[in-house]
Structure 1
């Protein structure tokens, strides 16, 4: 049951713009993260972004931006350490000057050596700020510090309940941000894994996603309050979290064994289709692959304007059916920074692309970042070895193109197809383009089917197109047109002993 906008929980996005990332690319990354978060069921109400030379090792953001984030969520804005923190006089004067000038206090503060006034070595040993703490120091921070009111500008009921960071966080960074903000913190990988978990339908997809999810959760497990005691009996000496991790390892072994059995069955089915003409739709998530699949095959596959709506590979015959049949498969979409565990888990699904006769790279040409999305698709396919499969470039959603966009795309990619999955004439043109591609690879041959083997005539019509047919004393004589491999197999199958 869907939630109304007023019932949907609120989220705030956090991003760090590193050197080499343009403003356009940074904005596109944030927009994509917003779509991911919306797909997960949250409404984005704020964004906190910061330019930095590098990500802060303990809390991602600098101290000033961290406090700004905490004002939105109601957190204290600092990571409690259980000890009184002191600052050198030089650091205090530098922060005061930055505040007086109205500048954002950068996350990377100048070292005492660069400060206007030198500090004695003894003082350095005693004085330490949050930014100077290592990941290990921060991950051991205590939560017994007094709570701070925070979030002065937002009523408690309107504060975001989750912070989403546009990168993968280490376990200590995740813990530190939760302590500083007082709310749940997710990273980009966690959001993608959760979306996959919700959208998986088939048994195989659910198992693949659970493997990726457990691999993601295992290193991020922490002892809960009151659970740090050692266990008694079997496994004595292990803490609760160690026992949980052992259960995860056992569950992963069980899942991998079950998945291997399913993948073996799928490999056999793909082997049985080895002589058939196969087209695989590949591309970025939400590029319109499922809409194109429905238009080409007439199948009722799920079509939704959301990221990762399709996780299960669907194989259907081109409609109206042709002779020989052409099978079309719709594969899982790709995305920037796709977790490697998910790529590995969905390897069998992506094998549909690896073993296809033709790949159709479906690109949302109306998206301003389509070039980067196309490169992501090519990179993932290179990773699984499918980049050598013959391919055609298809720019979808052409109904949204401006005349200038159409001209620029045609000039840059003269061989590409520009179409809309909702325009029947465009879909018909793509269908004919696919048939013409396979037609150029076909050869003609003569096949004689003895009268005693007429029950197998269906094999011929499934893998070849019959051009002429006549009968003589030896049986049915057919003139066929098919791919060389199919001709060789059919000739061998009906060869007279």
Structure 2
């Protein structure tokens, strides 16, 4: 009995190398887009790249490269006019007399050569079957709705820009109610300007209760529905975020560490190693969209809470940054930020810059931080030594090596220990119910009782001590 594995749909990447972008950065951007598209469930079969001073206003690429792209997708390579062509007998007669050479003459010579070189069209494969064509074109830029439509007309394939790819991945990976609401709002904001009229949908129709407004077209009706839906989602999200704020308020004063960094840098692997929790670990982009909070394991007193946050990426859509503001508040309210970078990635310095830029946007740049260069097990000793010289304050480690994780745990504990002070608390017999609160927020060094109550020698953070004294004084 033979089993056939379902074939993944195919995609083509499109990138324009703009002035100021060197070859290395351009290649890294396209490689990252390829990983995003693969995470979305497509196999990348080709990349079409072009150097230009700006994106072509009509369809991103020049005519020659557009033809080359169309050979991969089975399209015409020509952007048809949106208006119906008027019948003109004189024009038709002149076209017949001039022959068919005009179309070829429109293409620049260099572009035609490029298209012929890479010809990955409908040539048969080794089994004699017609080669599969790409059904999706992923563009490594934010493009306008009209550019996307023109590309779709020229290629016959679905077109997604970088923002669209990221939003779709977020949509598929969201698990919690909060994440689903945030992503849906961002997705609707992305879709609204890209709606288009279909068929005879432009006709104006009369209004009615619950129906279209006076003179409202089908397109306008769809956009109004989207606006109404976004308003509903925002209202529901507001309620969910109030609950999250309440939970965070309950953790106020507790010692908190937030793992932040580029997507797929290994934050969730470190989270699992530090806390012993079964958080999702996957070698794909944006596997984690929901903030997870767990206690450092083995536990210490007072407890140290570790949170795993959503990863960052270059050119992260603004709507997603805004939507995930509440999720990123976990970083803003942390006592310590651990910047996690994949040291085995040649572009990790740029990735680290992206992380710091986004956190600066939300005002978290002033939070004390430490740099963790993760995945050093993939590097040679010479490469590790070079990193130590370049980043003397960083911690080099691998989440897969228990000794490295143990060392990080001790460093986290030491960070909080340096700000703790010793004090004595008097716990009256009438307030014995607060003993659990004291043990939760301080380390009790000794405990003695006399006629006035319990005298506890404790070590705690000054803010926690002030809160405990306030509770005892009530």
User: Residue 174 of structure 1: which of 142, 148, 161 is its match?
Assistant: 148
Match of 1:438 in 2: 416
Q: Deviations over 1:220-273 (max 9, x none)?
A: 000112323223332131111110100000011111111111111211221221
**1:328 and 1:228, CA in 2 relative to 1: closer, same or farther beyond 3 A?**
same
Distance 1:492 1:285 in 2: 42
Match of 2:315 in 1: 337
Distance 1:5 1:51 in 2: 38
Count residues in correspondence. 446
Q: Deviations over 1:316-368 (max 9, x none)?
A: 11111110000001000000000000000000000000010000000000001
CA contact (8 A) 1:72 1:153 kept: no
Unaligned stretches of 5+ in structure 1? 106-149
Match of 1:46 in 2: 46
Does residue 34 in structure 1 map to residue 34 in structure 2? yes
**1:452 and 1:97, CA in 2 relative to 1: closer, same or farther beyond 3 A?**
closer
Distance 2:108 2:34 in 1: 32
**1:343 and 1:228, CA in 2 relative to 1: closer, same or farther beyond 3 A?**
same
Distance 1:238 1:100 in 2: 48
Does residue 270 in structure 1 map to residue 248 in structure 2? yes
Does residue 159 in structure 1 map to residue 133 in structure 2? yes
Match of 2:458 in 1: 480
Q: Give TM-score scaled by structure 1 length.
A: 0.86
Mapping of residues 200-211 of structure 1, within 5 Å: 200-211=174-185
Distance 1:15 1:301 in 2: 35
CA contact (8 A) 1:71 1:153 kept: no
> Quick check: 396-405 or 241-250, which moved more?
396-405
Q: State the shift of 1:80 in Å.
A: 0.9
> Quick check: 339-348 or 393-402, which moved more?
393-402
Q: State the shift of 1:100 in Å.
A: 8.4
Distance 2:312 2:409 in 1: 24
User: Residue 343 of structure 2: which of 357, 365, 372 is its match?
Assistant: 365
CA contact (8 A) 2:121 2:131 kept: no
Match of 1:112 in 2: none
CA contact (8 A) 2:422 2:459 kept: yes
**1:471 and 1:183, CA in 2 relative to 1: closer, same or farther beyond 3 A?**
same
Q: Secondary structure at the match of 2:256?
A: strand
Unaligned stretches of 5+ in structure 2? 86-90, 96-101
Distance 1:43 1:29 in 2: 17
Match of 2:207 in 1: 233
Does residue 299 in structure 1 map to residue 273 in structure 2? no
* Runs of 4+ in structure 1 over 4 Å off: 3-6, 82-87, 94-98, 100-105, 154-157
CA contact (8 A) 1:448 1:477 kept: yes
Distance 1:492 1:252 in 2: 43
Does residue 384 in structure 1 map to residue 394 in structure 2? no
Q: Secondary structure at the match of 1:229?
A: coil
**1:164 and 1:479, CA in 2 relative to 1: closer, same or farther beyond 3 A?**
same
Does residue 7 in structure 1 map to residue 7 in structure 2? yes
